[in-house]
Structure 1
Amino acid sequence: MELTVGPNQFFWPAEKWSAFYRDLAEAPVDRVVLGELVCSKRLPFYQDCIPEALAALTEAGKEAVLTSLALVTLNRERKLTADLAAMGVTVEVNDLTALAHLPKGLGFHVGPLVNVYNEGTLAWLASLGAKRICLPPEMPLASVETLARAGAGLGVAIEVWGHGRLPLAISGRCYHARLHKRTKDNCQFACEDDPDGLEVRTLDGQPFMAMNGVQTLSDSYACADYQIEALAAVGVAALRLSPQSQGFFRLCQSYRERLNGTSPAGTIASEVLRRLPGTRLSDGFLTGPSGVSWSAAPAIP
């Protein structure tokens, strides 16, 4: 099974962004998706760094892919989407409007924000040129198996979300700006203060979710540590690791060791909790009673 690094969902300073991808060139991963997924206002801060990152990743033998925006609402965002195909790099579609801007017959990938829930949708995307699809993270294992089997028959590789805060929704409004009593057009990039998203709690203080500009994320970090063998058995081609600001290079190494069979189930989770105490892990969408469930949690009597 391969490892894919998904696009960074957060807003980091250009220097940190560049250093992250320089490090990834040496990481034991097969594929890296980069570019702006969440908010087009962030892109100018690091846009000039993208060609260098693409070159470094390609030189290191990684497959480099560019993401489209998750929600296209402005004329300039449509132009940005149209310009992706001219970069000469495979495009990952995270909003179906991007398909209109891809040359007919050009192969592309599909990200987890596109609702591929059944064989019909998968076959339709394959007919348009999809070569790889990362399934939405809320898919149960039985559905993953069905789509992995269908993908194999169509020549489409199927990925599953492996690690990171789960993308739940994209809005036309900016939660970070509203929190700071600013308008979206004058957000002053408040999301930069929260490099892994801002925790949101319920009125009685329980962890609920995280916000990231216009994006809503899970509070817990999905972790496929205990599911790797089951996912491999049903034909999943790759796990997707979502960038985070701390310990990501080591996280890639840990997943590679698990995929290679050199470390047992539970190793990744133990290391994550040791390095980042207080982190909540989950894998319930695959096999649990709810998405927030965690395989290593004690059973409730």
Structure 2
Amino acid sequence: MELTVGPNQFFWKAEDWTAFYDELAAAPVDRVSLGELVCSKRMPFYQDRIPAALETLANAGKSVAITSLALVTLKRERVATHALAEMGVEVEVNDLTALAHIPADMPFSVGPLVNVYNEGTLKWLADRGATRICLPPELPLESVKALCDAAKDKDLTIEVWGHGRLPLAISGRCYHARMHGRTKDNCQFACEDDPDGLQVNTTDGQPFLTMNGVQTLSQTHASAAYQLEALREAGVGALRLSPQSVGFTQIIDAYRARLDGTLTADGLTDAIRAAAPGCSLSDGFLDGDRGVDWSGKAA
């Protein structure tokens, strides 16, 4: 099973962004998707660094892809989406409007924000040119298996969410800007102050969600630590890890060891908590009654 890294969902300083991908070049991952997924206003801060990062990763033997935005609403965003197909690397589609800008004979991959919930959607995307699909993280194991079965006849690689805060929703409004009394057009990039998102509590003080500019994320970090054998048996070809600012290279090493059979699920859980103290875990979408449920070791 491959180990992949998905696009960074957060807004980091350009120097931190570059250093992160330089470190990934030496990490035991097979594939990296990068670029701006959440908010196009962030792109000018690091856009000129993307070609160098792609080259560094490719020279290190990684398969690379460039992500599309999750929500395209403005003309400049349509122009930027059109330009992705001209970069000479695979495009990961996270909004189906991006397909209008990808030539019919150009292979592409599909990210987890596209709702691939059934065999019909999967086969349609494969016929359109998709070679890899990262399934939405809210699918249960039974659905993952059914889609893996459908993918066999289409020569598709099926990827599942392996670690990280789950992307739940994208909005036209910016939560960070609103919290600071600003408009979206004058947000002053408040999300930069929260490199892993800002925790949202209920009215009685219980952790509930995480906000990241226009994006809503889970408060917990989903982890497939205890489902890897079941996912491999189902036919899953790749496990996706989502970037975070604390302890990510150590987390990659731990997942690699787990995939290689040299680390147990309990050992992986301990390694995640050692690398990112205070990190709460969940796997309920894969195997539970609620997404927030956790089947592994208690904190």
Q: Report matched runs for 1:85-124 at 5 Å.
A: 85-124=85-124
1:124-167 Cα offsets, whole Å, 9 max, x none, are 00010000000000000000000011112111110000000000
Residue of structure 2 in register with 1:158 after alignment? 158
CA distance in 2 between counterparts of 1:152 and 1:79 reads: 35
CA distance in 2 between counterparts of 1:27 and 1:276 reads: 18
1:62-121 Cα offsets, whole Å, 9 max, x none, are 001000000000000000000000001000000000000001111000000000000000
Q: Report matched runs for 1:182-261 at 5 Å.
A: 182-261=182-261
Residue of structure 1 in register with 2:10 after alignment? 10
* Residue 280 (structure 1) shift: 1.0
1:179-198 Cα offsets, whole Å, 9 max, x none, are 00000000000000000000
Residue of structure 2 in register with 1:69 after alignment? 69
CA distance in 1 between counterparts of 2:253 and 2:60 reads: 16
Residue of structure 1 in register with 2:134 after alignment? 134
* Secondary structure, aligned partner of 1:166: strand
1:167 aligns with 2:167: yes
Q: Which amino acid aligns with 1:183?
A: T
* Secondary structure, aligned partner of 1:225: coil
CA RMSD of aligned residues (A): 0.8
In the alignment, structure 1 segments of 5+ residues that lack a partner are none
CA distance in 1 between counterparts of 2:92 and 2:112 reads: 10
Q: Could you state the TM-score of these two structures normalised by the residue count of structure 1?
A: 0.98
1:265 aligns with 2:265: yes
Q: Which amino acid aligns with 2:207?
A: P
Larger deviation, residues 29-38 vs 146-155 = 146-155
Residue pair 1:67, 1:91 contacting (<8 A) in 2 also: yes
CA distance in 1 between counterparts of 2:138 and 2:150 reads: 18
Q: Which amino acid aligns with 1:182?
A: R
Residue pair 1:93, 1:111 contacting (<8 A) in 2 also: yes
* Residue 297 (structure 1) shift: 5.4
Residue pair 1:284, 1:294 contacting (<8 A) in 2 also: yes
Residue of structure 2 in register with 1:46 after alignment? 46
Residue of structure 2 in register with 1:179 after alignment? 179
* Secondary structure, aligned partner of 1:204: coil
Larger deviation, residues 152-161 vs 6-15 = 152-161
Residue pair 2:266, 2:297 contacting (<8 A) in 1 also: no
Larger deviation, residues 42-51 vs 261-270 = 261-270
CA distance in 1 between counterparts of 2:240 and 2:279 reads: 19
Q: Could you state the TM-score of these two structures normalised by the residue count of structure 2?
A: 0.98
Residue of structure 2 in register with 1:294 after alignment? 294
Q: Which amino acid aligns with 1:175?
A: Y
Q: Which amino acid aligns with 1:196?
A: D
Residue pair 2:225, 2:269 contacting (<8 A) in 1 also: yes
- Report percent identity of matched pairs: 68
Residue of structure 2 in register with 1:276 after alignment? 276
* Residue 255 (structure 1) shift: 0.6
CA distance in 1 between counterparts of 2:279 and 2:248 reads: 14
Larger deviation, residues 76-85 vs 247-256 = 247-256
1:60 aligns with 2:73: no
CA distance in 2 between counterparts of 1:271 and 1:259 reads: 14
* Residue 276 (structure 1) shift: 2.7
* Secondary structure, aligned partner of 1:124: helix
Residue pair 2:221, 2:282 contacting (<8 A) in 1 also: yes
Residue pair 1:225, 1:267 contacting (<8 A) in 2 also: no
CA distance in 2 between counterparts of 1:93 and 1:212 reads: 20
CA distance in 2 between counterparts of 1:35 and 1:277 reads: 27
CA distance in 1 between counterparts of 2:226 and 2:145 reads: 17
* Secondary structure, aligned partner of 1:278: coil
* Residue 277 (structure 1) shift: 2.9
- Structure 1 runs (4+) deviating above 2 angstroms are 274-278
* Residue 296 (structure 1) shift: 1.7
In the alignment, structure 2 segments of 5+ residues that lack a partner are none
CA distance in 1 between counterparts of 2:103 and 2:289 reads: 42
Residue pair 2:131, 2:155 contacting (<8 A) in 1 also: yes
